[in-house]
């Protein structure tokens, strides 16, 4: 079952985090499902939850394992929970999982970056220890989100080939929690916010199972805990005098507290943080609170040493600090939804977020055996050596589309109330060069628009082989988002001196669309500590000269409303001749220390206001 309300302890709800060191076993011979490992594992090793399992041990066969891995832990279900609904909730399992408690299946989920839960009441032993077993699988295909394939070698070994440029980190990446909730309870809350002058407005809709004779009420508190408004029932509108808006850099949050009460007794209570703000596209402007906003920041990854993609509040806080230090006001959650705890921090810090689904790798690499080297070969040829376009594949139109819509729906359901989310990105760099892509995206965009109660702008991120005139999907997007590498993948080295002009020419052709343009990626691989005069590619000097060229193009484009450099920090990728132990386009190293470019960006971005930027 899905469980999108973030677990919070209140007077009526209990949350127990059961993350920690769990038992772990790699299913090298794919026998666990038929051999009954769900009933309990033998010969296990230890594994940290949350974390990726890939980078902890020294064994390459584990790091690069393709297929199932198994986890086990024990937990106690207190007797006093017997009259409540008891659930186990996973922040995510990458890319799919099945969960058993005491040998009985309680949950399963497809899609590696979303929470899911299972109800335990029928299988759990109250007042006793219970055994929880999870199988997590990391295989990819052209219809999974994200996309990839599995390569089988003659020696029997299988390998996952991701069709994307980040390591296929796998495992239980986010906290696992036991929840004890009232049987009749609040199951969902949705807010829409608006303001006029100093008068703020919060529309609320609450889904709840309300016992006969009970009342549902809401109270809105300001950041100091002072009540500013109240209402009753499952739907209503709250007025807020002298509103404090949620602003980039100033994440002012109210709390909307919903309560089910009967004869003075609280049966359920759930508080939701709410930022009051508006988002709108008007002509070539991206408006936040009716003011033209300029995105400054990065595409990021959830990626760090040892943890891989595992949730770590230390890394998240450090990242927020560095974003603030460098003068960034925004990020894109490239290339998958980030942990819920990250989104909460973004709300609180006022970090503007372009929220992306895990749809990445929608480009046909089957003819290349799934090798990312093949992707680069294809990019080099301008896309002309493709065998069949991705969106013409029958399985993509059917199963792939279905998985993509699931990913869109779950992301919007999970994150719909976050003030930080100003736009949804429904795919990164799909191959949109053929008509079939136009039809495919027409359908996915319509679907996505039907899902967002706040009607936020929708986009996808365009790849360089699908320039203006060739891209068959851009007409569906509210904002044109471009990933471009003038001076790196093309026009690199000495020729980079002309990169800015070439980029500017492309921008002026996109400008004719009359929509805002955000550069969601531009960057150059740079080895921290490599210095060279005159510059060469990979040196810190080159990265800065490269950025200068890009910014020259940006500053000459009226319709351009943002720049997000690729990437915030160096990160782990697939292994290959294009990558030196990962992608090195970070402004920061993987250890979160600045390269020269970070200082350069800081001095540029501190001069660019969040609003009404005129180059
Ligand atoms: C883009 C991708 C991104 C890559 C980046 C790069 O969107 O995931 O890491 O290029 O090559 O194609 O550095």
By C-alpha distance, which of 493, 596, 562, 593 is closest to 299? 562
- The helix/strand/coil state of 394 is helix
In the prediction, which pLDDT does 367 show? 78
In the prediction, which pLDDT does 82 show? 96
Q: Which CATH superfamily is domain 186-274 in?
A: Immunoglobulins (2.60.40.10)
In the prediction, which pLDDT does 2 show? 58
**pLDDT tens by residue, 27-40:** 999 999 999 999 99
Q: How far apart are the first and last CA of the chain?
A: 49
User: Where along the chain do its domains lie?
Assistant: 14-181, 186-274, 300-605
**pLDDT tens by residue, 330-353:** 999 999 999 999 999 999 999 999
- The full DSSP string for 32-86 is TTTTTGGG---S-EEEEESS-STTTSS-HHHHT--SEEEEEEEEEB-GGGTTSEE
Average pLDDT, integer, range 438-467: 97
Between the CA of 443 and the centroid of ligand 1 the distance, in Å, is 26
Between the CA of 165 and the centroid of ligand 1 the distance, in Å, is 6
**pLDDT tens by residue, 553-562:** 999 999 999 9
Average pLDDT, integer, range 239-263: 98
**pLDDT tens by residue, 403-418:** 999 999 999 999 999 9
- Which residues neighbour 551 within 8 Å (Cβ) at sequence distance 6 or greater? 500, 563, 604
**pLDDT tens by residue, 266-285:** 999 999 999 999 999 999 99
Is the bond preceding 553 in cis, omega lying within 30 degrees of 0?
no
In the prediction, which pLDDT does 385 show? 52
**pLDDT tens by residue, 564-604:** 999 999 999 999 889 999 999 999 999 999 999 999 999 99
Between the CA of 47 and the centroid of ligand 1 the distance, in Å, is 30
Q: Please provide the CATH number assigned to the domain covering 300-605.
A: 3.20.20.80
In the prediction, which pLDDT does 366 show? 80
By C-alpha distance, which of 401, 444, 398, 440 is closest to 424? 444
Catalytic: 429? yes
CA dist 404 and 109 (Å) reads 14
Per-residue pLDDT for 132 more than 80? yes
Q: Across all residues in the chain, what is the average pLDDT?
A: 96
Per-residue pLDDT for 510 more than 90? yes
Tokens of 112: 């590696």
Residue among 302, 521, 540, 563 flagged as catalytic: 521
- The full DSSP string for 332-349 is E-TTSPPPHHHHHHHHHH
In the prediction, which pLDDT does 381 show? 60
In the prediction, which pLDDT does 138 show? 98
Cβ-contact 570, 584 below 8 angstroms = yes
Cβ-contact 215, 88 below 8 angstroms = no
DSSP classification of residue 245: -
Ligand 1 pocket, residue 303 CB under 6 Å: no
> b or e along 339-361 (b: 16 or more beta carbons within 10 Å of the residue's beta carbon)?
bbbbbbbbbbbbbbbbbbbbbbb
Per-residue pLDDT for 93 more than 90? yes
CA dist 235 and 225 (Å) reads 23
Average pLDDT, integer, range 499-512: 98
Catalytic: 263? no
Per-residue pLDDT for 615 more than 80? no
Cβ-contact 525, 478 below 8 angstroms = no
Average pLDDT, integer, range 172-177: 98
In the prediction, which pLDDT does 369 show? 77
Residue among 142, 302, 429, 540 flagged as catalytic: 429
Between the CA of 368 and the centroid of ligand 1 the distance, in Å, is 18
By C-alpha distance, which of 607, 389, 615 is closest to 507? 615
Which of ligand 1's atoms lies nearest the C-alpha of 463? 12
In the prediction, which pLDDT does 147 show? 96
Ligand 1 pocket, residue 583 CB under 6 Å: yes
In the prediction, which pLDDT does 536 show? 98
**pLDDT tens by residue, 367-400:** 777 778 777 666 666 555 556 789 999 999 999 9
- Ligand 1 binding pocket mutation candidate from 566, 568, 579 (most atoms within 8 A of CB): 566
Tokens of 5: 């309300």
Ligand 1 pocket, residue 566 CB under 6 Å: yes
In the prediction, which pLDDT does 182 show? 97
Residue nearest to atom 5 of ligand 1 (CA): 165
- The helix/strand/coil state of 442 is helix
CA distances from 503 to 296, 508, 550 (A): 18, 9, 7
Which CATH fold would you assign to the domain 14-181? Jelly Rolls (2.60.120)
């Amino acid at each position: 079952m899905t469980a999108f309300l973030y677990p919070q302890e209140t007077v009526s709800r209990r949350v127990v985090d059961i993350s920690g060191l769990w038992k772990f076993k790699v299913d090298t011979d794919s026998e666990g499902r038929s051999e009954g490992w769900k009933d309990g594992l033998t010969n296990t090793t230890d594994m940290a939850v949350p974390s990726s399992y890939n980078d902890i041990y020294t064994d390459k066969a584990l790091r690069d394992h393709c297929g199932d891995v198994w986890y086990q832990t024990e937990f106690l279900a207190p007797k006093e929970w017997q009259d409540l609904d008891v659930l186990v909730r996973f922040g995510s399992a990458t890319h799919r999982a099945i969960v058993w408690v005491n040998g009985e299946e309680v949950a399963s989920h497809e899609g590696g970056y979303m929470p899911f839960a299972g109800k335990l009441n029928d299988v759990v032993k109250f007042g006793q220890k219970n055994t929880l077993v999870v199988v997590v699988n990391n295989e990819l295909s052209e219809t999974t989100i994200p996309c990839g394939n599995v390569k089988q070698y003659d020696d029997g070994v299988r390998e996952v080939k991701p069709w994307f440029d980040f390591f296929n980190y796998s495992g239980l990446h986010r906290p696992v929690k036991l929840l004890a909730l009232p049987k009749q309870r609040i199951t969902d809350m949705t807010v829409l916010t608006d303001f006029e002058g100093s008068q703020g407005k919060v529309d609320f809709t609450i889904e709840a199972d309300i016992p006969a004779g009970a009342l549902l009420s809401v109270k809105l508190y300001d950041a100091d805990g002072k009540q500013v408004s109240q209402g009753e029932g499952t739907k209503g509108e709250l007025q807020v005098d002298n509103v404090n808006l949620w602003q980039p850099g100033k994440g002012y949050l109210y709390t909307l507290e919903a309560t089910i009460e009967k004869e003075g007794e609280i049966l359920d209570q759930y508080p939701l943080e709410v930022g009051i703000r508006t988002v709108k596209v008007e002509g070539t402007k991206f408006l936040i609170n009716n003011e033209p906003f300029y995105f400054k920041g990065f595409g990021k990854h959830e990626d760090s040493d040892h943890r891989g993609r595992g949730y770590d509040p230390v890394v998240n806080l450090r990242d927020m600090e560095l974003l603030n230090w460098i003068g960034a006001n925004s990020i894109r959650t490239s290339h998958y939804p980030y942990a819920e705890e990250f989104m909460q921090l973004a709300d609180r810090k006022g970090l503007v977020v372009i929220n992306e689904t895990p749809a990445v790798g929608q480009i046909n690499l089957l003819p290349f055996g799934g090798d990312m080297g093949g992707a680069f070969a294809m990019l080099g040829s301008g896309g002309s050596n493709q065998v069949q376009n991705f969106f013409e594949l029958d399985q993509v139109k059917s199963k792939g589309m279905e998985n993509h819509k699931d990913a869109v729906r779950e992301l919007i359901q999970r994150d719909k109330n976050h003030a930080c989310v100003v736009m949804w990105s429904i795919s990164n760099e799909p191959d949109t060069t053929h008509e079939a892509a136009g039809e495919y995206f027409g359908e996915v965009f319509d679907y996505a628009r039907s899902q967002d109660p706040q009607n936020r702008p929708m986009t996808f991120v365009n790849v360089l082989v699908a320039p203006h005139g060739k891209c068959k999907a851009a007409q569906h997007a509210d904002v044109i988002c471009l990933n471009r590498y003038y001076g790196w993948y093309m026009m690199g080295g000495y020729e980079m001196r002309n990169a800015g002009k070439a980029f500017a020419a492309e921008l002026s052709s996109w400008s004719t669309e009359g929509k805002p343009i955000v550069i969601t990626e531009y960057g150059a691989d740079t080895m921290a500590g490599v210095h060279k005069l005159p510059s060469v590619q990979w040196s810190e000097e080159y990265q800065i000269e490269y950025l200068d060229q890009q910014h020259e193009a940006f500053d000459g484009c009226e319709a351009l409303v943002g720049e997000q450099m690729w990437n915030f920090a160096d990160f782990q990728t697939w292994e290959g001749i294009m990558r030196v132990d990962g992608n090195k386009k970070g402004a920061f190293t993987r250890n979160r220390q600045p390269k020269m470019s970070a200082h350069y960006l800081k001095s540029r971005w501190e001069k660019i206001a969040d609003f009404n930027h005129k180059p």
